[in-house]
Structure 1
Amino acid sequence: VLSARAPAMAVQVPLWHHYLQAIRSRGAPRAQDHQRAENVLFTVLEHVHARDPRFLVDYSHDLEAFQFTLRSSEDPLDMEVPLWVDAEALLIEELGVPETGDGPASCRLGVPREVPGLERWMTDDVFSASEDSTTCCGHIVPGKVLHVLKDLLVAAIVHCKHHSLITPGSLNAASLREEGLCLSLLVSSGWRMIRFNIVPVVRRKHRVPALEGAQLMPCFPEGSLKRIISQEVPLVPASAQHWRVSTDYLLTRLLGALGSLQGHRLDSLSILDRVNHESWRDGGQGPGLTFGHLKMVLLWASVLFPAPEDWAELQGATYRLLVVLLCCLATKNLPHFLYPERNLLQDSGLDLNALYQRVERFASQPEAFLRIHVTHLGRSPPPRIGNGIKALLQLPASDPTYWATAYFDVLLDKFQVFNIQDKDRISAMQSIFRKTKALGGDES
């Protein structure tokens, strides 16, 4: 029986917990770093608001701060700047889903004719008039909004520095010169610099079909998706002319929902992000996977492994993410969780073959990567897998039906961490295993 190898490596489990404890010990200092940097930014944004009340300050970033404590990587953080506008009064003009179906539909925000209270958004600096519509007199233009916000940020930073409201060196605005769909600032937390992407947002109730479909997934706590769907969602710049729903916002809320469940889902994400930062990206010096990539892997792993017992043990939970990640790297396709037609590895500029080799080395002999103290030194156990695993991992590229629990259970068994007692799942896994043997997609 395949699952007979499942209990292997039990003696090594404490090493995973030592590694997790080291990450957690940095959590409180990271939270303080985030708070200090955020306070600097709030000071600047308060003066932006004082100069132009159309731009508000949102102090509720608890979920983003919590996410920052999970991370070891230094990817930029989003800071939303809500616009003071009656968003429900605006007209959403959908431009249709992208032809590739790989993302949310873009839209324009129309200002209806003769609706009081919207006059402040009909000035030339943020508005483009339209003569050919009977329902709206023009549109709020994201490119213009970004330009106004950029000028306000520069003026606010100069004011805050001149009046010693922020300490010298606490903020680097050099990247504000760059053109893009957000405004980037480097903010000091005391000893580390944190990059924030300032994003103007319009918050309103907006249907997200991809999220509604996710309600059918049993991996999320009951009612959690309904709460997310019922809340306002931010519309962010999609181009100089168009807006779109912020998928990052939705994914962060989904991650928060998973965090309320028992088990090691978020712990496994923290471990892989740390290994990614230290080993796969050479201490953050090289290109590679982002926290966003790994977050997407966790969301897929949670769907593919919905049983609580999948996440009850730390080592096994981490391998749930690893087998999904290895499959994505081997097939060169990491589907977006809400828009699966979108491949997050396409046009990433990453050397996916080299990255695959690094991740496979960790999955085969993780102990060498998890040692953080001289007392952890010692001989590593033999590799968990032999040659040929990549062929097995590439099967979903030619047959998408392999993207299912039974196939990934075969991969877990290969790495000796299946550990599932459910007879139906064992039977389904063994059936897929026999199919892969017949195809020659296995090395043993």
Structure 2
Amino acid sequence: SSQPCPPSPRIFIPAQTSASHWHSYLGVIVSRERQRLEHFQRAEDILEPRFLVDYARNLEAFEFALCASEDAVTMEVPLRIDGDALRVLACQPGDTPAGHRPGLGTFCLEVPSPGTDLEDWTSTVDVMERGDGTGCLVPGKVLQHLKELLVSVIVRCQHLFLLQPGDLSAENLQEDAMELSLLIRGGWKTIRFDIVPVVRRRQEPLRLKGQQSDRGFPKGSLRKAMEEAHFVPASPHCWRSSTHLPILKLLQAVDMLKGPHLDSLRLLDQLRVQDWEEEAGKGSLTFNHLKMVLLWSMELFPSPEDWQDLEGSVYRLLVILLRCLATRHLPHFLHPEENLFQEEALDLTSLYHKVESFAQDPRRFLRFHFGLPARTDSWPADPSTRALLHLPFQVYRIQDSMRRSAMSQLLSKIRQVNP
């Protein structure tokens, strides 16, 4: 609409200087992070000892605290099975029932000859017989078996008064989904946990296209994050490779570095929820998108000098985010051939204008408010040109040749697609 937007009621955070304004905004985000972590830990105290076995990770709590939205917590729990004893085969039309086409990048996990030590999964959970007499571990049947086990544990916990009224809701278990969803009370807040069964296999380190070993990351972190392949249900009949945990491991490695790397992610994610959300029914930028932007920023701007202050660090993420929005192409960090914008119903032009409005006038947005978002319309121009020319990037004294060439590297890494 060409009509001006009504002003938004706001809660202002006082600031004396530009730098303090950035850090005041971040300070509110970080203070809320502690409360979110407490909610998660209270819910986890109900979930873990009663329902999960061999669970000893803190990555989910780490992500939940970073994210500004109230999205479900994805909890990938490994099956007690020797994944290295399975054979991974691309799903073929004959591997699925008639009328069901296997998706791209889906796999069958073939069970080898009898006698292989696979615990009791192949006897307790039925396998799909194939023409040559071998069988495959079927995701739908694994999920059904785990669901039955989960329901029986819930009933037993209730019978023994190990659950208080309101602690847990299992109503989402009735849905035909590729995860087991439980609503767990965490203090006064209810948190949704999507429990996903995972088959883990050792793998040779991936050779990432165009990426130098550990460039911008702590030494060994890329290799450690990708030393295992994780297969999760893609459909009732096929599995897919998951990068959820490897990406979280990389973020955790970034947290070990000096500099406001994750603070930049925190700040942009708060803006995503507060000012960049689309109208109901439309796809929006996600926390997962911003995670990828940060990881690309780490590789394209590897020098510690690029991450000395919060404002400069945020602008490095903005340069890449705006370029990806302009070209409509955000490569997955571990699988650059995959465009994360391709399958999303996103209004990338609208998102571009919103992000650019912040880049041009950040002080206008570095405040918490309720009500309608600030108006973000701007004059029309070629987005790809504006992404490169209208950011005050030169004020950060980029002098050495490696960092001066970062933008040309970015243009070659992120495929040129006309907006």
Give the TM-score category using the shorter length: 0.7 to 0.9
* 1:132 to partner: Cα distance: 0.6
The residue matched to 2:71 in structure 1 has which SS? coil
> Offset of 1:139 from its aligned partner?
1.4
Give the counterpart of 1:218 among 200, 215, 220.
215
CA contact (8 A) 1:104 1:244 kept: no
Question: Identity of aligned pairs, percent?
Answer: 44
Is it true that 1:273 corresponds to 2:266 in the alignment? Answer: no
Runs of 5+ consecutive residues of structure 1 not aligned to the other structure: 1-9, 47-56, 97-102, 374-382, 395-409, 433-440
Aligned to 1:17: 23
Instruction: Select 1:203's aligned residue among 200, 205, 218.
Output: 200
Amino acid at match of 1:16: W
Q: Tell me how far 1:284 sits from its aligned partner.
A: 10
Secondary structure of 2:74's partner?
strand
Deviation string for 1:275-326 (max 9, x for gaps)? 1112222899985222111101111111221111111110110111112112
Q: Distance in 2 between matches of 1:156 and 1:214?
A: 46
| Of 27, 30, 40, the match for 2:36 | 30
Task: Output one character per residue of 1:167-202: Cα deviation in whole Å (capped at 9) or x when no partner.
Answer: 222222222222222122222211222221111111
Deviation at 1:341, TM superposition (A): 2.3
Which residue in 1 is equivalent to 2:397? 420
Could you tell me the TM-score, scaled by structure 2's length?
Answer: 0.80
Task: Report the 3-state secondary structure (helix = DSSP H, G, I; strand = E; otherwise coil) of the residue aligned with 1:92.
Answer: strand
Conserved in 2, the CA contact under 8 Å of 1:77 and 1:197?
Answer: yes
Deviations 1:136-195 (A, max 9, x none): x31111111011112222332233234331222222222222222212222221122222
Contact 1:330/1:393, CA 8 A, preserved across alignment:
no
CA shift in 2, pair 1:357/1:147, >3 Å: same
Aligned partner of 1:5 in structure 2 is none
Q: 2:225 aligns with which of 228, 234, 249?
A: 228
Cα gap change, 1:106 to 1:322, in 2 (>3 Å): same
Contact kept, 8 Å, 1:142 with 1:241, in 2: the verdict is yes
* Alignment match of 2:317 (pick from 318, 321, 336): 321
Distance in 2, matches of 1:28 and 1:306, equals: 29
Residue correspondence of structure 1 range 13-412 to structure 2 within 5 A: 13-46=19-52, 57-95=53-91, 105-118=105-118, 120-123=120-123, 125-132=125-132, 137-207=134-204, 209=206, 214=211, 216-230=213-227, 232-281=228-277, 287-372=283-368, 388=381, 390-392=383-385, 410-411=388-389
> In 2, distance between residues paired with 1:113 and 1:59?
30
Q: Which has the higher helix share?
A: 1
Q: CA separation in 2, counterparts of 1:360 and 1:140?
A: 48
CA distance in 2, matches of 1:69, 1:283: 25
Q: Tell me, yes or no, if the aligned pair for 1:316 and 1:417 is still in contact at 8 Å.
A: no
1:257 and 1:332 map into 2 onto residues whose CA distance is 28
- Secondary structure of the structure 1 residue equivalent to 2:182: strand
Is the CA contact 1:27–1:70 (under 8 Å) kept in the aligned structure 2? yes
What residue number does 2:372 align with?
Answer: none
Query: Which amino acid in structure 2 is aligned with residue 225 of structure 1?
Result: L
CA-atom RMSD in angstroms? 3.3
C-alpha distance 215-62 of structure 1, shift in aligned 2 (>3 A): farther
SS at match of 2:135: strand
The 1:286/1:172 distance shift into structure 2, 3 A limit, reads farther
Q: Is the 1:310–1:420 Cα contact (8 Å) retained in structure 2?
A: no
Query: What is the alpha-carbon distance in structure 2 between the residues aligned to residue 267 and residue 126 of structure 1?
Result: 47
Q: Secondary structure of 2:181's match?
A: strand
Q: Which amino acid aligns with 2:189?
A: R
Which moved further from structure 2: 21-30 or 274-283?
274-283
CA distance in 2, matches of 1:127, 1:387: 58
Q: Which runs of 5+ in 2 are unaligned?
A: 1-15, 93-102, 370-375, 410-417
* CA pair 285-116 structure 1, distance change in 2 beyond 3 A: closer
Q: Given that residues 323 and 384 in structure 2 are in contact (C-alpha distance below 8 angstroms), is that contact kept between their aligned partners in structure 1?
A: no
Runs of 4+ off more than 6 Å: 282-286, 429-432
What TM-score do the two structures reach when normalised by structure 1?
Answer: 0.76
Taking the aligned partners of 1:283 and 1:264, their CA distance within structure 2 comes to: 31
What residue is the counterpart of 2:13 in the other structure?
Answer: none
